[in-house]
Homo-oligomer: A and B are copies of this chain.
Amino acid sequence: MNTFGNIYRLTTFGESHGAGIGGIIDGMPAGIDVDMDFIQSELNRRRPGQSRLTTARKEEDSVEILSGVFEGRTTGCPIGFLVRNANQHSSDYDNMRDLFRPSHADYTYTVKYGMRDHRGGGRSSARETISRVVGGAFAQLVLRRLGITVRAYTSQVGDIALPGTYRDYDLSLTEKSPVRCPDPETAQRMTDLIMQVKGDGDTIGGVVSCVVQGCPAGLGEPSFGKLHAALGSAMLSINAAKGFEYGMGFSGMHLRGSQQNDIFVPVAANGTDCDRHRGDSGRITTLTNNSGGVQGGISNGQDIYFRVAFKPVATVLMEQPTVTTDGTPTILAARGRHDACVLPRAVPVVEAMAAMTVLDYYLLDRATRI
């Protein structure tokens, strides 16, 4: 199942140390101007080696569009794309061939497929997210036109968490810090923590928060295609993701229903929210947005916000006991250049998956509006 989506569909391929990473976007609306600079810049945000926080590997990750674009616009035909792998040090991984790295996919791939490409994690490598970022960037080209924005940021690293919500920060500052946290002071503390952990040869996890704004009401397909379920599946499919919550999420259990319900009110004549709504029901909004912009699985025109938990990177630069593929105890000593914290580079991936999900559900919703 290397295909994501229903109408806007991304199918991907590629391993860490194979020829390249790529994919096919199907269901792209025709006639959309293709802003190649934007697409490449999204890839650059995901690229390793952007700052001292992330792995020092230099990867150019330059994307080639193979089809589906003609004279600068999408044709409605599938968009094939390819990012060649470069700077491959496959021999770095020779010592991985015959052992299972703890908390990686080495063991499970071997059991499932009877074999694996041991170089850099093969298909299970986070390099796979390159395809997601390209798919998301094309989706963003459409969302822009629809007035829908998707913005993610690092809201927690280890025990350092942003105290507020997306409304409390200037999200345009997110890209100013290498850790992609919009609050400069917190960003600095997160950076310090990551550098300390990195110095220990260890790794650390955290949380990415994301908000989708300008999304019209009516997106989501009950009962198994609830919008938040689709977002959850999309986020949980990202490497190292361990949890997803939207709206009040896990903290909602501390409030009673009467406290948590979002009260409907008429939108004032000069309100701007009403533009997001459709149909006869028109000019209605809610006083609060504890629901996270989704009610009964369908967007209600409010901001859609959610959080994704990421575990620490499994590769630590310390000796770890493990076993060989035939079950003999051994010691793993990882080498090479690895992220001490995946969060900064996860931010554009979260945005990409959110963009594809929202566009897919936008198109699905259109289908039956005759």
| Cross-chain contact A12 with B24 (CB below 8 angstroms) | yes
Interface residues of A in 277-301 (CB under 8 A from B): 277-284, 286, 290-292, 294-301
| 27 A-B interface contacts by CB (under 8 A) | A1-B6, A7-B367, A14-B78, A18-B67, A19-B65, A19-B66, A28-B368, A30-B115, A70-B122, A76-B109, A100-B264, A102-B262, A105-B298, A108-B217, A111-B281, A112-B298, A112-B365, A123-B222, A157-B253, A233-B233, A236-B244, A243-B243, A252-B309, A263-B321, A264-B321, A264-B322, A266-B328
Residues of B within 8 A of A68 (CB): 13, 15
Of the residues B67, B204, B257, B283, contact of A13 by C-beta under 8 Å: B67
- Of A80, A122, A142, A369, the most chain B CB neighbours within 10 A belong to A80
Q: State A63–B203 Cα separation when bound (angstroms).
A: 41
* Contact A244 to B243, CB < 8 A, known contacts A223-B128, A295-B103: yes
- Of A64, A248, A256, A265, the most chain B CB neighbours within 10 A belong to A256
Task: Tell me if A147 counts as interface (CB < 8 A to partner B).
Answer: no
Q: A19-B66, A31-B114, A242-B252 are in contact. List 14 more A-B contacts (CB 8 A).
A: A11-B11, A31-B115, A67-B123, A75-B123, A102-B261, A108-B299, A197-B256, A232-B244, A242-B246, A242-B292, A252-B312, A260-B312, A261-B314, A264-B323
Residues of B within 8 A of A264 (CB): 100, 102, 107, 321-323
Residues of B within 8 A of A39 (CB): none
Min CB distance A44 to B, Å, is 22
Q: State A196–B250 Cα separation when bound (angstroms).
A: 22
